[in-house]
Amino acid sequence: MNGRGAPPGGQDRSPGGRDRSPGGRDRSPGGRDPSQPRPPGEGWAILSYMIGGMALYGFLGWLAARWTGWPVLFPVGMLVGLACAIALVIFRVTRS
């Protein structure tokens, strides 16, 4: 404490666990101000994760389908890739 009731660094902790900047705005745990827009390239990054995940795991599913003779592995690989991409996007967006 610095004598004024605030921790060193000039930030208070609000009851919700978020940092409160000296100006009074809440900040997310990742440090980004929620009232500010996200960078313009973030949408393209999310789209590329979706397409890349489906392409990579779809290709691996296609290879496995050719090797085993089970054609169902191709769409399963694409769905697994999409699920992994969505999980990665959620992880990255909630951390920033």
pLDDT in tens, 43-86: 899 999 999 999 999 999 999 999 999 999 999 999 999 999 99
Predicted confidence (pLDDT) at residue 29 exceeds the cutoff of 70: no
pTM: 0.60
What is the per-residue pLDDT for 32?
66
The per-residue pLDDT for 17 is: 53
CB within 8 A of 47, min separation 6: which ones? Answer: none
Q: What angle do CA 24, 91, 44 make, to 5 degrees?
A: 90
Residue labelled with tokens 């694409």: 78
Every domain of the chain and the residues it spans: 12-27+39-95
More confident residue, 51 or 42: 51
